[in-house]
Structure 1
């Protein structure tokens, strides 16, 4: 019998999105001068531009790339890239988890691309990315938010490749280095690794992406929210503090606070180190726990953000499929009721399991304190007491 632990995480926030606010966050600390003002005012545009500039600085985005704020979170930013750039030539969309499969559905059912290849793999695995032709446009998810599997490197993307590369980086950015030279459109949302508020996304465009947008007009109609071109040219104002539609200035101020916090602790390098350390705690625990395994079997492809794990062993294997699905749900519900850990159940479409967010806004000690509680809840469930 495993005794109930005594120490609880001080900040029991382990959701994979929106993720934990950074340590020290308090709504009272947010700047409010821009609230109630037009986003087109001098002040409003300055704060939006500041958010863009801080993003560029912290991520090390090249000077000749454009960085803009988009509506609709990462989904809006990624679909804007797909709707404005795909269809000019052959394309491959690669997916190994839920969100990547959404981009496949967009390409197949919405854009109905004529020269399309889809490349898929099961949860926890990565498809053969080296098989993608270099003249293909490619859409991929850097880190599988719902599977815990990330790309090991960008060796499969040749320098100067003909096709444009569209990268959904929403659960990787600020936790993994981006190979900007090989990325043409990179998107992410504020509520993932930075723990900011949702509904807004970022779109980072290389010069090649800009050239594609300006030289190509797709056959399909573009919703207003995707129109980044004006008079045949990319509308540079969108990447200088203007926005396509009205943003929440409160969300902007929240994002700025989180960026300033990241800068204060050492920037991108510090965030990556925190994520690596947190994830290693969980990975080492999984390795030492016989009734768990990492959903991603290849260590080189195991994420350092949303670490996903599934159950195994004689007791678990003896359960019906329905009861197997109930194991992580019951554990997560029990620990939420005890205010030990919130929202660390696996994604609804993924294989039943647990998913612990380990990004830089999470404290290592809180991760350490959560794990014995999971062991306790598992033993309670196994003994029929949960």
Structure 2
């Protein structure tokens, strides 16, 4: 899996329990502490990690926030601090536009939640020290199993600093403080399901047969292009992420835009979106595309490498049909109430 992600040979990679969430929590608890940490709140999971850092008193924290649907400003980063960020926000549809603002000569570590970024976007390993992801996202594997990859700089931190107590299930080191190399050599902390192992092996074989990481990224780009063309030509839909540079190409988050309605009818957008989704589910055309709870009324569509571009094109046609049908029903009910 590390090879498919094109991670350097000097990195160590291990399987962890608890999916990508377990991997990220493990990284925070084992590595944070020597320096203050900069967190970037671009989606709900980045908020989750910021809260965990405070709750467990892992390190002094400087939170960078912004409006929903954008990525925070990065111009005030201290290269002597650690950084925690999410590389692809599945609920907000937001990514950091680039990682050029992270200094190659930094003193701090960069811990990246890449749960849905792995295999969907290029990850600059020169700007990242800890990469956390799961089997279940981009390659469609089973949930419950995650991965953590550590750079040489992260390994040096793991051996060097005075750490707070870490629960056994989350511990990346031996009792004497040395790195647990057995863990990174295939001896898992908890035994993964062999069915899940076989499933992810099948997914990896498929990815290699497609042409490896470049081919996966091309599939994501094609999927995004179809969705972008449809959004650009459809007046009643728009991106939740208003900043094109920070927009995810695989986590498609859309909001309703109905400027033709009279003032005061904006609250009906939630009803329109809900009606559309119920119609699509009844027709078997789309499932689980509700926007995240904190997002504006709309849709959340996965466009990762396992999704066929042709299917997304068909979904756009279904969305147009469902919008027309739902608006018609909504107008009829409003007329009856009047």
Match for 1:164 among 81, 85, 109? 109
Provide the residue aligned with 1:354 in structure 2: 299
Provide the residue aligned with 1:66 in structure 2: 12
Q: Deviation per CA, 1:38-87, whole angstroms, max 9, x where unpaired? A: xxxxxxxxxxxxxxxxx121111101100110100110000100011111
Distance in 2, matches of 1:326 and 1:118, equals: 35
Q: Describe the shift of the 1:317–1:374 C-alpha distance in structure 2 as closer, same or farther (beyond 3 A).
A: farther
What is the TM-score with the length of structure 2 in the denominator?
A: 0.94
Give the superposition deviation at 1:322: 5.2
Distance in 2, matches of 1:359 and 1:114, equals: 34
1:223 aligns with 2:167: yes
Trace 1:1-386 onto structure 2 (pairs within 5 A): 55-108=1-54, 110-113=55-58, 115-219=60-164, 221-230=165-174, 231-315=176-260, 318=263, 323-384=268-329
Distance in 1, matches of 2:177 and 2:4, equals: 31
Give the superposition deviation at 1:298: 2.1
For the 8 Å contact 2:37–2:59, the answer to whether it is kept is: no
Q: Which runs of 5+ in 1 are unaligned?
A: 1-54
Give the superposition deviation at 1:114: 5.1
Alignment RMSD, CA only? 1.6
Distance in 2, matches of 1:177 and 1:254, equals: 24
For the 8 Å contact 2:28–2:58, the answer to whether it is kept is: no
Distance in 1, matches of 2:316 and 2:153, equals: 46
Distance in 1, matches of 2:296 and 2:26, equals: 30
For the 8 Å contact 1:83–1:222, the answer to whether it is kept is: yes
Distance in 1, matches of 2:274 and 2:151, equals: 42
Give the superposition deviation at 1:316: 5.7
Q: Deviation per CA, 1:105-140, whole angstroms, max 9, x where unpaired? A: 1112x2224521011222210101232211110100
Distance in 2, matches of 1:170 and 1:378, equals: 32
Distance in 2, matches of 1:199 and 1:242, equals: 17
Q: Deviation per CA, 1:220-241, whole angstroms, max 9, x where unpaired? A: x312221110021111111111
Moved more, 323-332 or 75-84: 323-332
For the 8 Å contact 1:316–1:324, the answer to whether it is kept is: no
Q: Describe the shift of the 1:318–1:253 C-alpha distance in structure 2 as closer, same or farther (beyond 3 A).
A: farther
Distance in 1, matches of 2:7 and 2:261, equals: 46
The size of the alignment, in residue pairs, is: 330
Give the superposition deviation at 1:244: 0.7
Give the superposition deviation at 1:318: 4.5
Distance in 1, matches of 2:149 and 2:261, equals: 44
Q: Describe the shift of the 1:181–1:150 C-alpha distance in structure 2 as closer, same or farther (beyond 3 A).
A: same
Q: Aligned to 1:180, what secondary structure does the other structure show? A: coil
Q: Deviation per CA, 1:364-386, whole angstroms, max 9, x where unpaired? A: 11001010111111111111269
